[in-house]
């Protein structure tokens, strides 16, 4: 390997490797040969001085590939057709990234860890979902939130495809956008349910529904958002418990139910929720489409 190449000359070689792998997105290419792979890898590790440039180039080149080869496939797609195309492109991209990150594995070991940067896999997820959300954020959110509501209401959904996409998003820098959308939709869902339940159930039964909903949603959000049960429980206090108990407060005030009874009710509900949720062991889970 020529050790005297400058960064620009060496990067051209690496770009060729990324472009070759990018053809996987359209199923028109095979993986690099062993000789090509070693050539790209040796180029990537030739000089430590270029780590920052290679890391940034890795992210930028992947984003360019997504804009050029993924976004056109999502154009003019709606609803289920859009989501299935997104799943296919994300799946192909995951295969592509597993090839490409092999060239740059030196960066994960020596550069990323030293400077506390997102791993190559997480950076690659951002390079995919960043452009996708920029152009199709509403479509992605609508598709995923619709599937969550379907599952919540007892209907079937394609859980594998859902988790592949959702957990990919949760590895990227758009995670907060998606998490906020899920929490707002969850809040809206239980605001509607609370108005139905408060007139349909007795107060003890209503509070039992609050408890049941908190338990289910703590598990659901931990699984979907790939977070710990403790973090999920805190989010559910805002998105599930808050709208349900706001309706309870309003109803109790309207019916002039005594404050002492309300205080005891809150205490009982809080104690039962904390007791039940403290035993939850479900943590974050990973989808099947992993770069690692």
pLDDT in tens, 208-241: 999 999 999 999 999 999 999 999 999 999 999 9
Question: Helix 159-169 vs helix 203-225: angle between axes, to the nearest 10 degrees?
Answer: 70
* pLDDT at 1 exceeding the cut of 50: no
Look at residue 247 in the predicted model and tell me its pLDDT: 94
* pLDDT at 126 exceeding the cut of 90: yes
Q: How confident is the model at residue 6 (pLDDT cuts 50, 70, 90)?
A: low
The mean predicted confidence, pLDDT, of the chain is: 83
The candidate with the shortest Cα–Cα distance to 129, out of 63, 206, 202, is 63
Can you give the pTM of this predicted structure? 0.81
What is the Cα 207 distance to its own chain's centre?
31
Look at residue 113 in the predicted model and tell me its pLDDT: 87
């Amino acid at each position: 390997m020529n050790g005297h190449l400058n960064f620009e000359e060496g990067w051209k070689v690496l770009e060729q490797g990324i472009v070759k792998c990018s053809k996987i997105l359209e199923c028109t290419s095979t993986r690099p040969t062993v000789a090509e792979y070693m050539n790209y890898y040796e180029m990537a590790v030739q000089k430590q001085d270029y780590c920052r440039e290679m890391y940034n180039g890795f992210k930028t080149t992947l984003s360019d590939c997504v804009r050029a080869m993924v976004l056109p496939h999502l154009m003019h797609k709606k609803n289920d057709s859009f989501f299935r195309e997104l799943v296919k492109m994300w799946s192909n991209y995951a295969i592509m990234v597993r090839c490409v990150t092999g060239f740059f594995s030196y960066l994960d070991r020596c550069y990323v860890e030293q400077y506390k940067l997102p791993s190559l896999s997480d950076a690659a997820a951002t390079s995919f979902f960043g452009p996708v959300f920029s152009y199709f954020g509403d479509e992605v959110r609508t598709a995923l939130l619709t599937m969550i509501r379907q599952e919540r209401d007892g209907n079937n959904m394609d859980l594998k495809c859902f988790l592949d996409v959702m957990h990919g998003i949760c590895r990227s820098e758009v995670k907060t956008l998606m998490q906020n959308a899920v929490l707002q939709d969850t809040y809206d869902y239980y605001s509607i349910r609370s108005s139905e339940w408060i007139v349909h159930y007795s107060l003890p039964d209503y509070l039992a529904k609050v408890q049941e909903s908190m338990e289910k949603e703590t598990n659901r959000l931990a699984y979907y958002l790939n977070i710990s049960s403790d973090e999920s429980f805190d989010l559910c206090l805002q998105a599930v418990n808050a709208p349900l108990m706001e309706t309870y407060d309003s109803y109790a005030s309207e019916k002039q139910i005594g404050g002492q009874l309300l205080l005891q009710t809150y205490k009982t509900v809080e104690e039962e929720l904390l007791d039940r949720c403290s035993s939850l062991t479900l943590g974050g889970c990973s989808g099947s489409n992993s770069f690692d």
